[in-house]
C-alpha cells in the first residue's frame, strides 16, 4: 500500500481513501439489455432469492449478494459481472445505433458488449486486442451476451489498420488502456506489489501511442474516450495532454452521474493543459468502487 502514498497530495480525505482500498469490492453486475430489461433481470434475481440493490447512476448496474457468475441470469446472458467503474467508459462515449466504433483494447469484452448494447446491437464494434490469448474470453463474452455487431481483431492498436472493413474512419473510439492497475487493488490486493516508476513510464508510452492512433482513426466530429484503472497522472492526464499536443482534438465535458473530482493540471513539477480538468477521477471512497480515470475528446477543433 505504500505506493499509494505518492497520491496523498491530490486525494481528499486520504485516510478514508486508504481504508476503502483495504476493503473488498461489492459484487456488481450489469444488465445486458440485448437479452433482458433491468426489470426482467431484477425479477429473475427475486425469484432466485438473490438480494439486489440498484445503483442510482445507472439502472443497468446492480449490486447483488452473490458471486456474479453463479446466478442463472448470468448463465442466460441477462447479466454480466463487471466492476462498477468499468461501466463508465461506454456510458461516457454513448455511441448511437448504426455507429462504427473502435474498441482498441477490448479483451475480455465487458466494455465491447456494453457498447453493443447501447447501440441496440446495430452498427459495428471493432473489438481489438493485441493479446491473442485473451481473445477467447472476448469471443466467449460476445457470444454469451448475444452480441452480433462485434468484429474481433488481433492487432497492435498503436498501428491499427482497418482498411479491410471498407470505410475511412470510425464514428467513435474507446481506449480502455493497459495500465499499472492501481485502481483494482480492492479486488486484487497484489496489484501494486511489482509497481515501479519504470513500469509506469514504459506503459505511458504505449498508452500515448494507442490513444494517438484511435484519434487518427476517428472522423472529424467523432468522439474518443480514454480510460484507465490507475491513479497515476503519468498514465492519465499526461497521456491526454500529449494527445492534445500531437493530434487534432479537444477535451469535452461529460457526465455519468457518479461522484468524482476533476483532472489534475500539475504533478511532480509538470504542468498539463488546463482543459484536462474536464477529465474525471473516480476514487474508491467516493462511490465505494474501484479507482478509475476517464476523459472524453472530440476529434477536430
Give CA–CA dist 145/161, Å, rounded: 27
Q: Is 94 left (phi over 0), alpha (psi -120 to 50) or beta?
A: left
Q: Identify whether 229 is a catalytic site residue.
A: yes
Residue 196, CA distances (Å) to 145, 200, 204 in order: 37, 6, 12
Q: How many CB atoms lie under 10 A from the CB of residue 67? A: 10
Per 3-state DSSP, the chain is made up of helix, strand and coil in percentages (nearest 5) of 40, 25, 40
Give CA–CA dist 237/131, Å, rounded: 25
Give CA–CA dist 299/216, Å, rounded: 8
Q: How many CB atoms lie under 10 A from the CB of residue 39? A: 10
Catalytic member of 21, 229, 249, 294 = 229
Q: Are strands 261-262 and 266-267 parallel, antiparallel or unpaired?
A: unpaired
Q: How many CB atoms lie under 10 A from the CB of residue 194? A: 8
Dihedral, CA of residue 147, residue 153, residue 156 and residue 158, to nearest 10: -60
Cα separation of the two ends of the chain = 41
DSSP string, 3-21: GGGGGGGGSSSHHHHHHHH
Sheet holding 79-81, edge to edge: 52-55, 58-64, 28-31, 79-81
Active-site positions read: 229
Amino acid at each position: 500500500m505504500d505506493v499509494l502514498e505518492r497520491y496523498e497530495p491530490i486525494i481528499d480525505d486520504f485516510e478514508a481513501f486508504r481504508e476503502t482500498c483495504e476493503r473488498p469490492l461489492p459484487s456488481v453486475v450489469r444488465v445486458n439489455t440485448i437479452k433482458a430489461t433491468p426489470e426482467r433481470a431484477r425479477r429473475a434475481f427475486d425469484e432466485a432469492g438473490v438480494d439486489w440493490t440498484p445503483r442510482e447512476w445507472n439502472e443497468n448496474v446492480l449490486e447483488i449478494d452473490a458471486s456474479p457468475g453463479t446466478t442463472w441470469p448470468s448463465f442466460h446472458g441477462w447479466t454480466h459481472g463487471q466492476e462498477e467503474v468499468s461501466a463508465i467508459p461506454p456510458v461516457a462515449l454513448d455511441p448511437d445505433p448504426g455507429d462504427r466504433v473502435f474498441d482498441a483494447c477490448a479483451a475480455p469484452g465487458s466494455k465491447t458488449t456494453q457498447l453493443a448494447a447501447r447501440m441496440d446491437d446495430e452498427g459495428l464494434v471493432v473489438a481489438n486486442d493485441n493479446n491473442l490469448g485473451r481473445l477467447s474470453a472476448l469471443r466467449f463474452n460476445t457470444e454469451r451476451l448475444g452480441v452480433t455487431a462485434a468484429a474481433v481483431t488481433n492487432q497492435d492498436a498503436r498501428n491499427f489498420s482497418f482498411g479491410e472493413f471498407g470505410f475511412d474512419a470510425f464514428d467513435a473510439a474507446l481506449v480502455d488502456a493497459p495500465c499499472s492497475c492501481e485502481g483494482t487493488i480492492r479486488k486484487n490486493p497484489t496489484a501494486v506489489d511489482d509497481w515501479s516508476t519504470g513500469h509506469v513510464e514504459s506503459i505511458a508510452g504505449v498508452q500515448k501511442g494507442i490513444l494517438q492512433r484511435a484519434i487518427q482513426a476517428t472522423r472529424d466530429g467523432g468522439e474518443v474516450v480514454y480510460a484507465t484503472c490507475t491513479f497515476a497522472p503519468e498514465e492519465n492526464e499526461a497521456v491526454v495532454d500529449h494527445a492534445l499536443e500531437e493530434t487534432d482534438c479537444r477535451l469535452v465535458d461529460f457526465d455519468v452521474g457518479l461522484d468524482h473530482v476533476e483532472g489534475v493540471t500539475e504533478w511532480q513539477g509538470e504542468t498539463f493543459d488546463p482543459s484536462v480538468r474536464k477529465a474525471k477521477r473516480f476514487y474508491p471512497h467516493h462511490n465505494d468502487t474501484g479507482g478509475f480515470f476517464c476523459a472524453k475528446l472530440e476529434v477536430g477543433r
